[in-house]
Structures are given as C-alpha cells and as structure tokens.
Structure 1
Amino acid sequence: MLTTSSDQPAKLQFGPNSFRVIRAGRYVPCAVTGEPIELEALRYWSAEHQEAYASCEIATRRLTGQA
C-alpha cells in the first residue's frame, strides 16, 4: 500500500519567525499533546527546542517548565 505525503507528518526546521519544510506533509504533532497540527494552522513553536505546539497556552506551559 502506498502512502502519500499528506498521510505522514511533515518534518520542519523552526526558525525564530518562520519554519522551513524539510519533508512534505500536511501536519506536525504537538510536542506536548501529540495532537496533529495542520501546517496552515501552525502558529506556535520553539526554534531553540525545535518543537511545535498546538496553542499558546501549551507553548507557555512547556517553555516555563510547567508541562
């Protein structure tokens, strides 16, 4: 069975203001919850930790050590 790139998570390189797609896909998993985040909806990440977050609350908790 063949899978398409949309079936697999994307691999991204996170910068301070943007991200670069390393491997095509439609989503990335949240580093805390594991829930899929559509690339079009991705707004929160850490360039330092190279992680994506589903919401600003999750990002804040993670980056302040509360997650």
Structure 2
Amino acid sequence: MNRIDRRVPLSGPAEVEYLDGDFKIRKPGAYVVCAATGAHVPIEELRYWNVDRQEPYAGPDAKLARLRQLGLLPPKA
C-alpha cells in the first residue's frame, strides 16, 4: 500500500466461488481456509481448488491429502 492508496487492508476469511480455471470472490477477505489442512491460504496465492466440492487447498500435496481423506485415493504407501 502506498500513500495514495487509501484502502484498508483486508482481514479475515474470504467467501469464494470456485470455477473451472478461475474463482470469483463473493465476500472480500485476506485468505481462504484449506479444506485438507486448515491452513490459511492468502487469496493472491490460491492456485488449487475443487470445483465440484467448492473447496480450496494450500497446494498439490494438500489436495492429494484431501482426496485420501475422502477415500477417493488409496492411502499413501
């Protein structure tokens, strides 16, 4: 933020609609909560989500972990 930008920095969780290859912010916020780990994922770093389940993930490992939690992948060997 610079001296000309008078916007208040966002805080708290955002409400997001996850689309194919994109997402739409329904309620502004600073982060979303990873469905697998509970980690806060800053909106500007959000790269992984599931459109059908409308869930965000902290990264590719978190997405795989969530699929294992749901029984959609075999347990890690």
Instruction: Give TM class, smaller chain.
Output: 0.7 to 0.9
Which ranges of structure 1 fall in alignment gaps of 5 or more residues? none
The residue that corresponds to 1:22 in the other structure is 26
- Between Structure 1 and Structure 2, the one with more helix by share is 1
Question: Residues 15-53 of structure 1, C-alpha deviation per residue, up to 9 Å, x if partnerless?
Answer: 111000000001101011111000110000000000000
| Paired AA for residue 60 in structure 1 | L
Give the share of equivalent positions with the same residue, in percent.
35
Give the TM-score taking structure 2 as reference length: 0.72
Q: Which runs of 4+ in 1 moved over 3 A?
A: none
Partner in structure 1 of residue 4 of structure 2: none
TM-score by length of 1: 0.82
Larger-gyration structure (1/2): 2
Equivalent residue, structure 1, for 2:65? 61
Aligned length: 63
Q: Which runs of 5+ in 2 are unaligned?
A: 1-7
Query: CA offset at residue 5 of structure 1?
Result: 7.3
